[in-house]
Amino acid sequence: MTENTTNDPIIICEDVHKWFDDFHVLKGITTTFKKGEKAVICGPSGSGKSTFIRTINRLEEHQRGTIIVDGIELSNDLRNINLIRQEVGMVFQQFNLFPHLTNIKNITLGPIQVRKMSKSAAEEAALALLDRMGIEDQAYKYPAEISGGQQQRVAIARALAMEPKIMLFDEPTSALDPEMISEVLDVMRELAHSGMTMLVVTHEMGFAREVADRVMFFDEGVVVEEAAPADFFDNPQHERTKLFISQTLQH
Amino acid sequence: MENIAITQEVKPPNTSKGPVKWLQDNLFNTWYNTILTCLALVFLFFVFKGGLTWIFTQAEWEVIPANLQILMIGPYPIEQAWRIWIVLCTLFVLLGLSAGVWKGLVLRISAAIAIFGLILLLIPLDVVKNSEAEYAVLEFNFNIIYLIFLKRTWLLGGLVLFIVTFFLGRDKNVLKRWVIGGWVLSLPYTMMVLHGFGENSVSTTHWGGLFLTLVLAAAGITMCFPLGVLLALGRRSQLPAIKWVSTIYIETIRGVPLITLLIMGSVLFPIFMPGDLQLDKVLRAELALILFSAAYMAENVRGGLQAVPQGQVEAAQAVGLTYPKTMLFIVLPQALRAVIPAIVGQFISLFKDTSLVTIIGLLDLLGIARSVLANPTWQGRYIEVYLFVAAIYFVFCYAMSYVSQKIEADLGVGKH
């Protein structure tokens, strides 16, 4: 849908399985994400959607199948995991900002320690990012001193500072007050238009309809249905999908 | 109407209270509280009257100045005392530089230490000659005046160095690295200077008094802390070997009284060592103290590690930080900050536990105090001597506690 999508695959998942003890969370996910693609992943809680995107930067280990990110296969090789994590930014539901560091230090830590950037260059880049997020004036405050929406934008800036090729969003607006959701979605919308590859787990169906190239519907560890947003919302094929859409769009 | 009411600035009600109001509200608010307050005042009056009367009129304090040197440095030869002064002056230099470079809290703490030094400079505790035969006789002969003058000069020199280095180090950020390096090297440096080399060296059998207590405590505190952190990380490690070694170590040490460790170090250890290889007695006591405290420190730190949410580790991993960097920059700063009270509690414990080295025949501050009391000349001066020793312990322990509170406030514990 968006003009930026290419045909080069950047994430390839083959029959990905994952268990929490005996509980089968992911039951064979096979899919490919293209460079520049924006995919929205939705589904009821416990459906495995968060677990799935967390396997992509190895915050969760998959136990069967293969995941190839940017040409590197995820295995137990720590070097590979760290390489992939540098290319994959992640934004969490609970922000997970480092409370003992100022906002700007939250952002510069990765570039300085991992990318070996100089302190001044990292700070300059961080200020530019905060400016892009519209919160340049909050740079030298601590996370606890700013609002939830601002914290989540700092968290997005922190992920972007590593100049990743892929951004993962794990329910980025679920912990926010309603009036702060839009300021975060605006930033994500802008990011989508810049051509970033984005995997977004969210319940914001309006955002999905507007920004996504593809909507994936997860239930009980499998992809029940995936389609372009227009088809997905207006013409769902499966009963489970229809029920989910009618329930989420009711309010 | 309503709009006006909203835009009007409403001041909070005045809840501030003067001391008189506080007294009325809390001590004299009902007739029975008034009676209780008066009774308590009478009680306190008699307690303080008794205590203060004893301290100022009945106590015979000459035992302190007469034995001041032995209480401070024990059997350390007085002609080698310059070694201790050199160490003190070096520490003042480091303190001054740190105060200048970091300012803020470091400056305030260093200044407090310097002021304490200044107070010591002015207290005439040592004007009595240190010889049992002539005690309490104020003989203003040249020798005494010279000795007193010498001590004052050293202390004054240290304070002057503090001020000079403070101005030298002011706003020089490039010095930070060097000052940190200086502090790291200060412990081995101190040991080397205090012990010395060749025929003038002072064997640790001559170390004693407050000086020995401070050496044991300072080395113990600086060594047990990093060891404790490593053990805490080890106990939470994913690698079974490291995890089990750490756990077994911690549980074994915590299951044994410190005295047993000290006695094992002093009696059993030499038996197992090959004949000509003997570890220094003070060093063995020091090792026992460090190994003992490290186990407790590890559990304190582990408590802090558990208080750091998993999301913090995930966020650090997500930006690609390696395990050591995640620990160093994200987890440990938050974990340690959360358990400062427990950590400092352990430091204070360690400081007081040094008094147990008397068991193995070392003469720390408390041990030397007992040996002073064993001298027939000072028979029956228990209260005076023990009060003095208690006051010294209190000053150091309370100073640690106070500094830790200031550090907590400075780090914004509970705020961000």
pLDDT tens for A60-73 read 999 999 999 999 99
pLDDT attached to residue B275: 67
Band of the pLDDT at B58, cuts 50, 70, 90? confident
pTM, 2 dp: 0.85
Query: What is the enclosing helix (H) or strand (E) of A119?
Result: helix A119-132
Q: Residue A143 has what DSSP assignment? A: G
What are A225-228's contacts with CB under 8 Å, separation 24+? A226/A31, A228/A1
Query: What is the enclosing helix (H) or strand (E) of A91?
Result: strand A88-91
Helix axes B82-102, B176-195, angle to 10 degrees: 170
Residue type, B202: V
Per CB-CB distance under 8 Å, the chain A contacts of B325 are 113-114
SS3 at position B269: helix
Interface check B320 vs A, CB under 8 A: yes
How far off is chain B from A178, nearest CA to CA, in Å? 23
* pLDDT, mean of residues B347-358: 95
* Contact (CB<8Å) B320/A94: no
Highest mean pLDDT among A240-249, B76-85, B233-242, B374-383: B233-242
Sequence-separated (6 or more) residues with CB below 8 Å from residue B241: none
> Which is higher by pLDDT, B126 or B64?
B64
* pLDDT, mean of residues A217-237: 93
- Smallest CA–CA distance from A58 into chain B, residue: B318
pLDDT attached to residue B137: 45
Distance of CA B93 to the CA centre of its chain: 19
Contact by Cβ (8 Å): B60, B384: yes
CA distance B356 to B374: 18
Nearest-by-Cβ selection for B318 from A59, A113, A145: A59
* Contact (CB<8Å) B416/A82: no
Band of the pLDDT at A248, cuts 50, 70, 90? confident
C-alpha separations of A20 from A17, A26, A51, B367 in Å? 10, 10, 10, 60
CA distance A200 to A187: 13
CA distance B233 to B250: 12
- Smallest CA–CA distance from B335 into chain A, residue: A100
- Smallest CA–CA distance from A92 into chain B, residue: B315
* Contact (CB<8Å) B318/A98: no
Residue for token pair 């103290």: B289
Average pLDDT, chain A: 92
Interface of B with A in 363-382 (CB under 8 A): none
Interface check B415 vs A, CB under 8 A: yes
Q: What tens digit of pLDDT does each residue of B309-319 get?
A: 999 999 999 99
A-B contacts (CB, under 8 Å): 68
Closest CA to B281 of B386, B190, B208: B208
pLDDT attached to residue A49: 94
* Contact (CB<8Å) A85/B312: no
Interface check B334 vs A, CB under 8 A: yes
CA distance B78 to B206: 11
How far off is chain A from B31, nearest CA to CA, in Å? 48
* Contact (CB<8Å) B334/A94: no
pLDDT attached to residue A77: 86
> Which is higher by pLDDT, A248 or A40?
A40
C-alpha separations of B51 from B48, B54, B373, B383 in Å? 5, 5, 22, 12
Per CB-CB distance under 8 Å, the chain A contacts of B317 are 57, 59, 85
Asked whether the predicted pLDDT for residue B3 surpasses 70, the reply is no
CA distance A223 to A240: 11
> Which is higher by pLDDT, A13 or B410?
A13
Asked whether the predicted pLDDT for residue B153 surpasses 80, the reply is yes
Task: State the architecture of B210-416 in CATH terms.
Answer: Orthogonal Bundle (1.10)
Helix axes B281-307, B209-235, angle to 10 degrees: 40
* Contact (CB<8Å) A57/B318: yes
Per CB-CB distance under 8 Å, the chain A contacts of B312 are 96, 98
* pLDDT, mean of residues B187-191: 90
Report the first-to-last Cα separation within chain B, whole angstroms: 41
Asked whether the predicted pLDDT for residue B334 surpasses 90, the reply is yes
Interface check B328 vs A, CB under 8 A: no
Contact by Cβ (8 Å): A185, A171: no
Average pLDDT, chain B: 87
Helix residue ranges, H only, B236-375: 240-254, 258-263, 269-272, 281-307, 310-318, 323-325, 332-338, 340-353, 365-373
Among A77, A79, A98, A115, most B C-beta atoms within 10 A, so best to mutate, is: A98
* Contact (CB<8Å) B315/A92: yes
Report the first-to-last Cα separation within chain A, whole angstroms: 26
Band of the pLDDT at B124, cuts 50, 70, 90? low
Between B199-213, B346-360, B393-407, the lowest mean confidence (pLDDT) is in B199-213
Q: Transcribe B47-91 into DSSP letters.
A: HHHHHHHIIIII--TTHHHHTHHHHHHTT--GGGTHHHHHHHHHH
Per CB-CB distance under 8 Å, the chain B contacts of A144 are 415-416
Interface check B317 vs A, CB under 8 A: yes
pLDDT attached to residue B74: 87
Per CB-CB distance under 8 Å, the chain A contacts of B314 are 59, 92, 96
Angle at B32 between CA B28 and CA B33, to 5 degrees: 35
* Contact (CB<8Å) B325/A100: no
CA distance A223 to A16: 11
Q: What tens digit of pLDDT does each residue of A165-191 get?
A: 999 999 999 999 988 999 999 999 999
pLDDT attached to residue A249: 73
Nearest-by-Cβ selection for A59 from B317, B322, B337: B317
Between B29-38, B45-54, B149-158, B354-363, the lowest mean confidence (pLDDT) is in B149-158
Band of the pLDDT at B130, cuts 50, 70, 90? very low
Nearest-by-Cβ selection for B314 from A86, A96, A109: A96
Among B317, B319, B323, B413, most A C-beta atoms within 10 A, so best to mutate, is: B319
Q: What tens digit of pLDDT does each residue of A25-46 get?
A: 999 999 999 999 999 999 998 8
Closest CA to B373 of B393, B361, B387: B387
Distance of CA B342 to the CA centre of its chain: 15
pLDDT attached to residue B196: 85
Nearest-by-Cβ selection for A85 from B320, B325, B412: B320
Closest CA to B159 of B100, B210, B95: B95
Interface check B414 vs A, CB under 8 A: no
Interface check B11 vs A, CB under 8 A: no
Residue type, B284: R
* Contact (CB<8Å) A98/B330: yes
* Contact (CB<8Å) A109/B329: yes
How far off is chain B from A203, nearest CA to CA, in Å? 21
* pLDDT, mean of residues B241-249: 96
Per CB-CB distance under 8 Å, the chain A contacts of B337 are 100
Asked whether the predicted pLDDT for residue B84 surpasses 70, the reply is yes
Percent of chain B with pLDDT over 70: 91
Per CB-CB distance under 8 Å, the chain B contacts of A159 are 318-319
CA distance B358 to B369: 11
* Contact (CB<8Å) A92/B320: no
pLDDT attached to residue B136: 42
Per CB-CB distance under 8 Å, the chain B contacts of A86 are 319-320
- Smallest CA–CA distance from B317 into chain A, residue: A85
Contact by Cβ (8 Å): B282, B207: yes
Contact by Cβ (8 Å): A97, B314: no
Closest CA to A30 of A46, A9, A8, A44: A9
